[in-house]
Chains A and B, each alone.
Chain A
């Protein structure tokens, strides 16, 4: 169906005329009905390959090799962000109609209903009239798939199809794709950084690094015992859902296109690299049960993850939230309860995890604690602060200082106009207005050291740093105030798994050295298991279950918690 030979895709630099490769010499073939997964960290070229197959090169050029298909292949692409891929001002029905018109289908209304039913959208008649923003993320993703299926594709390329979705929605979407593939027989290419969904959906997997395949083979074999050091490192960077272990981070960062090293691209980060690796590029060759691009493929299985320490002795109560409720008035005058009678408590030096699907009120709870959200009933007590129940601008400076917040997306949480030095100086100058210049710069260096960044980052601006480095800066910005409580809002969900592992490791180390308590909000159970001591499960603004993390995850009492764990296990490697 699709045969790619020695494909290199890249661009030519404007001034120097130098050719820069994004994909280098990729070989690939898929037959109808097959599913191939492409995994790798961001910048590995996996999306570029997906888009190149779909014929969307947008400014890039094919520098070498070819993409062979049969004549006039029907290839459909499902883009990454469903919310942005749909035209916001056109109803779903009109968008479907437009695509069907282009596909020269005659009974367009009938066919549209058929497609909507095919992707199992409820009540297609009323959905047709709605605009994209009136649909949930999962529904938008299905509409996008329906649009892609309108021309009966032979090859379906899906770019990160599940990133914006909850665990249970992910599971149903992957089931749907499998069922559609069975009935229509198209070949599928799933591009994702999430090994979990690749494992669920794809029989074959290609692991990409720096624009090339490093390993290709059966998905189970790659995940259980990959032979390339990078594959192994990637799998070990995943948080464990079954055991309380910290995942292993991969040191260093992937090379940028145009700055790739001579020899094996992974060699600078590889624990097993030898001289040969630094001079020659290893070809993709069969090794035991997979194809590996490595001179020294790994054979034995090893596991070196470290256990998470329990909080130290001598704990005192730090925070108590009693029966708090938050209400919003909706358009029709209805009252929507974002939080309903929620109580939590936290001791010094502990980590509390708050888990729930989107819309469960977990972010609202954090905003309440930060004093950014008014609540209608209940009380909040922070030991040693009388003004904690007020909004943030009415709290005393000393109280404001005791509580710091870190956000989900570091690229929007840091002002792009400030240097890293300025970003760290602002909170310190706010809480220590009388500090001298040398005190400030000492404090800034101390925090940088704590989050393992160096002096040379000080003069840079956020756009010059990678996602992981930015999140470290954001952490340092919170820590420079030396808070008693750190609020972490999904801080790893925008990061690659290897970077996520490094940030989780950092959090544990910070807690050990600074001793602050943390509240971690996440939808990822495996992340919770690796670092949080206590856990609260939220659903529709109410607490479903609360207690020690280990207890809840190994013996969940409530049906909702059980289903969360089950769907997380189903799509976790």
Chain B
């Protein structure tokens, strides 16, 4: 149902589908229509024009009724096209799945054979097959199907290779399934959408190819009509009686267009990437629809200050409150840790600052994000673009995904500099090498000419940091920059970041889920849960005596090295879905201390001095000496 509504939304595909349905319906009911016999010749009435009495579309060179032949031919061409597509898909998919699943030498032999088939121009190959088998519609069908097998085989093999290495296939083998069962029950169901997509986009071609063979007299034999043979027979009278060519020609055009439009629609509707909206281009900056007033700047010293920032995702009729009013600030040279589990809104908070949350579906609905006092929410795109990467830079978790695989890292760094500064290419290159040295990449001069895949994970993340430093920013927002790295490499990256902020007075917002990392690097920490900050304060104070039950229990459930073998204090339940938050404290359903009061109304984030907690019954009473 969802599939049909997706196709209906695509107007071109819907139009193609409607045209196709009409053509097929006409072709199917044509035997019931009061049409003359398509094969009866009547040379006295040859080349009658369309509209002639008893001959709606006129007659051909033997005086046969064109309308009847057209319907007959359409039925035949459609049947041959669909049959050829089905056989090509069946055998192609079988070959592709076997090659992709077994891999190794089997794959090599099969695919080289397929490559050899593909090396022939397809029409020549089809001609050769028909020449060997003899002319006739069935042989033309075989030829067209055979010629298209390589296309399916290659497509399906590619998909299967990806699937065959998936963990669920390994799991099936461990569950005792044999190869045949794995192919039929694990691989095939995941491949079928690809087969359907490939079929929907090739049926049109197959009809054209069959028509081509018939046109050359190798397909349907007289007096039987198909669209190609009708065109072939009309060729002699192309100039004198063009209507005999135009009628079948127009029908081929209509059918192939209809099928291709519908096929594209089917592909778009079935492809999971397209369905999730991957191809809907996000806007250059996150949409802003602020409802309340913009809060005034409170802290002149903070280089970055978020005030009650709210970011939501509007998906169909649901509203996900990913960030539900977050206020944080960082001073120059300060490192703020933002800690939280997945879905707590920590990354969305970070991306909202520079309007980098994809819109749609992201919308900033309230609050302000101030860089040196100036509100960036809703700032013109040109202004945001000047600041992005220049004054406020990001480091992401996976440097392999953020570096362009086809450019040398030195060139990518130079580009980052050239975007914001008017310097020569040589100067940009010199600065790029300098940056690589600053992040302690050995042999920076030669490493600048490496491609990202030639570097290890740790080296790539250094390049990511160099990129962030390229324009000497005031703020770096690092989103889990060491999560994908090994511990020995992580230790180096952390100490590098620490040195940089001390040397340059950088403000760092460090997003992580690891208390150990926060403890070592950050001056202050903010703990997020369900889109809001539940506790904040100086790192040491928060970690030593957490005030919010969530912080306390999160710390308790992480094993710490040196603690020996033990049972962990797990938090039961799951974090709440942010599209249906209950009133009161979001942690209440999982909290052992929750009272009725916790489930009612807004609980403020408050406390004396530097420490603040959003809890009615905190673990420790906050005292004002916590002021940093």
Partners in one complex: no
